[in-house]
Amino acid sequence: MPKKVATKQSKTPHAAPGAAGFLHRALVLGSGWLTLLVSVCFFTATYDSAQVKLTLLQVGATVLLTLWACLKITQRHLPFTRQNLLCLAPLLIYMGWMTLSFVCFPYKLEAAEEFVRLWLCGAITCLVACEFTRADVHTLTRFIVASAWICFSYGALQIINIWLPGADLLPWHGFFGNRIFSTLANPNFFGAFIVCTSAIIAGEYLRTRKKSLLVLLALGLADLIFTESKGAWLAYAGVAVLGTFAYARGVVHLKQFKKWALGALVVLALAAGAAGVYSAKRFQSVSFRAYTWLSAFEMVKDSPLLGTGPGSFKIVYPAYRRPQIFYIENAHNTETAHAENEYLEQAATGGVVGLALFLWLMSFVLICAYKNMRPTDKDTQTALLGYGAALMGLLMHGFVDISVHFASSGLLQALCIGAMLALVLDHKNVPETPQTPVHPWWLWAARVCVWLGVGALIIYTGATFYYVLRNLAVKTVGEGILFGLSVLLFASVILGVAYTYSRVARQTARGWVCGLLLVSLVPCTFFWRVFLANHYYSLGVALVQLGQAHASLGAFSDAIKLNPFLSEYRQYRANVFAMTLDPQKRFVPALGDTDKPRTDFERAQDDLNFVFAHNPVHAMLHLNAGQLHYNMGMRQRNLMRQDPVQAVLYRALADENLRQAQAYLEDSLNLDPVNVNTYLLLANMALAKGNVDEAQAWVTRYYQGPAGVTEEEFLTRHRENPHMRALQAHIDRLKTAW
């Protein structure tokens, strides 16, 4: 158990002169702005385009960590002192173990994005813990409060829109019916945000006694009601109870404590009642979590020590998924990416050792904060109380949700841990050590390189952002508002980063600082290209839905060029090639050809082989491969009838493609035994071979339902499926005719 950290009372911090002072302010304000932007930003015309949040986190964290390294070089001071290392040891050991688990996982490409995000959040925690003073933490709190004002206010507008349709002009309103989600893309994520920020707001109210913060808390509570998030309600109540008892520790008198305790128990009772009502209203969400937890537990049993690595859950889970999930989701082309329970996910991806280290980390931070809540130091006490309660809220919400694996909640969790450790360590600013540059001409050359690099980045991002904007059709007032805000925000962020880098390069007396600034532009550019790839992928999907398959191929190919590491783009492009199936060998670089002419069938095969190499247990992947070979085999059967001279060749090719199609489709049934399209293809292939009995066997197997499914509500869907009934009628006619 961590001992109470004894530190001297810090003096009022003064900014160090020159570059160090500016860098420190940039770190504090940059962390605050990053928190606000990740919380409130959307971009495209779909409600859940959270890629912009992830891109802001990736680029923002890269910039902040670069500035932190520049600050340490400027100060000639190592960030990890002995005291810092003692407090950060649980985090560093946990990150080390998760890295080992990731290295041992065979399919790293698909898991890399989440692994990188894990390290970025961990690094931000270290930054805040090692650099922030008490005043810096209060500045960060003000940014979080500002984020809450924006998110809670827009949530209130969504509530008004329930009774006054049209009040919310933005294009994604009403996506979840009457459940609100504000700018957090999902009601459960918004619920987690409310729980976390409300605790921080309450701590700030206890410090400042500003009445406006009570209004903000009330607004958040009203929003929480309309999220209808069961887990958020229970977490909110738990935070109220635990926060009350923590605050009562030597702070309030007995009579006052009774009032606080009574209020907390009332909140707990209301939360339990609300959770019960919402569970009865949407019991499917309870069933979904129960089946997912059972499958995740099977994953833990198969890899109990090392786990499968961070980011691997979505890759491994399909091999364990229960068929009931397909009925509950009513979809086959989506993949459950997380375990719906943070502790099961930690055990599945990091093994029981990873789970133990995670619990050690969280316990260590919370106990350190609790032991340093000195009643004589109200500012520190209330801040520790607020951030500690916020972290507890996220941990309690993690029993039924996985919001911390996404950008907004994950960043808040990292900041909560870092802020508590910073308050415990109670830092003072380290003054800059003046030094005259040895090679001023070389330093000026380095500065010019930074300025040129920043200018090139502005031109590149501005030009590519323009190409994104021109594909967006502004048809409503809400879309126009969103368009204008996106341009304003993009310009502000790019120019803000450019100004910061340019000023640091101008003020620094160390060439290594300029080198770091220049190198950091590379990952920033890469993360921006990932954002662009997501946009072109979304554009391609939209074109397919509009029936413009050929036009969509260019968009998918652009997405793959910008982000060649995500297999989902190649899988979708392969599906389009399976629809077009141009038999002519042509060399078209825009379609992914690099060294030789290819047909659409060969292009689709290459794309699918890439996906098989990196995500082999994706159920839809096997179905897509089966569909490709089925389409090709049936086309070759038609050519066999049209060209008698080549009939023998076409027959052999068709038989081979249909054989491969059957093998892929049967593999697909092992992963998804519910999808009617798989059974229809297998039955139609049997009919194409003239085997009516085999076709009947596939129809009968579908009617019986998957093994282990006994719920009548699910089995009824099989017996009443109109496509299978039509096929059964066709088979009956063939039997009668023969």
> Dihedral of CA 478/483/484/486: which sign?
positive
60 token code pair:
């923002």
What pLDDT does residue 225 have?
87
Confidence of residue 7 (pLDDT cuts 50, 70, 90): very low
196 token code pair:
């976390």
Confidence of residue 313 (pLDDT cuts 50, 70, 90): very high
Q: Share the mean pLDDT of the chain.
A: 86
> What would the mean pLDDT of 3-22 be, rounded to a whole number?
51
Q: How many CB atoms lie within 10 A of CB 292?
A: 23
Confidence of residue 14 (pLDDT cuts 50, 70, 90): very low
pLDDT in tens, 575-586: 999 988 888 889
pLDDT in tens, 112-144: 999 999 999 999 999 999 999 999 999 999 999
pLDDT in tens, 503-546: 999 988 888 899 999 999 999 999 999 999 988 998 898 888 88
> What would the mean pLDDT of 16-33 be, rounded to a whole number?
86
Confidence of residue 272 (pLDDT cuts 50, 70, 90): low
* Alpha carbons 555 and 568: distance in angstroms, whole number: 14
> Dihedral of CA 638/688/657/541: which sign?
positive
Are the beta carbons of 534 and 560 closer than 8 angstroms?
A: no
SS3 content of the chain, % helix, strand, coil (to 5): 75, 0, 25
Nearest C-alpha neighbor of 292 from the set 353, 251, 219, 342: 342
The b/e string for 191-211 (b: 16+ C-beta within 10 A; e otherwise) is bbbbbbbbbbbbbbbbbeeee
> What would the mean pLDDT of 728-736 be, rounded to a whole number?
86
Element (H, E) at 38: helix 18-40
Confidence of residue 256 (pLDDT cuts 50, 70, 90): low
Neighbouring residues of 395: CB distance < 8 A, sequence distance ≥ 6: 342, 362
* Alpha carbons 718 and 701: distance in angstroms, whole number: 10
> What would the mean pLDDT of 276-293 be, rounded to a whole number?
68
> What would the mean pLDDT of 290-310 be, rounded to a whole number?
91
What pLDDT does residue 275 have?
54
CA distance to 106, 111, 121, 247, per residue, from 302 (Å): 16, 19, 29, 43
Bridge-partner residues for 586, per DSSP? 598
Nearest C-alpha neighbor of 676 from the set 647, 699, 643, 656: 699
Q: How many CB atoms lie within 10 A of CB 724?
A: 19
Instruction: Record the pTM.
Output: 0.90
Lowest mean pLDDT among 224-228, 389-393, 440-444, 550-554: 440-444
* Alpha carbons 307 and 282: distance in angstroms, whole number: 32
Please state the length of the chain. Answer: 738
* Alpha carbons 22 and 11: distance in angstroms, whole number: 20
Bridge-partner residues for 598, per DSSP? 586
Are the beta carbons of 235 and 195 closer than 8 angstroms?
A: yes
* Alpha carbons 629 and 527: distance in angstroms, whole number: 36
Local structure of 183: helix, strand or coil? coil
Does the pLDDT value for residue 432 go beyond 80? no
CA distance to 103, 201, 620, 694, per residue, from 146 (Å): 40, 10, 43, 65
In the block, residue with structure tokens 């009445």 = 211
What pLDDT does residue 277 have?
55
308 token code pair:
């499968």
648 token code pair:
């023998």
Element (H, E) at 702: helix 692-704
pLDDT in tens, 172-186: 777 788 889 988 888
Does the pLDDT value for residue 4 go beyond 50? no
708-717: list long-range contacts, CB under 8 Å, 24+ apart: 708/322, 708/323, 709/323, 709/324, 709/327, 711/324, 711/327, 713/327, 714/324, 714/327, 717/327
CA distance to 299, 336, 668, per residue, from 319 (Å): 9, 12, 11
Maximum Cα–Cα distance for the chain, whole Å? 99
* Alpha carbons 29 and 585: distance in angstroms, whole number: 56
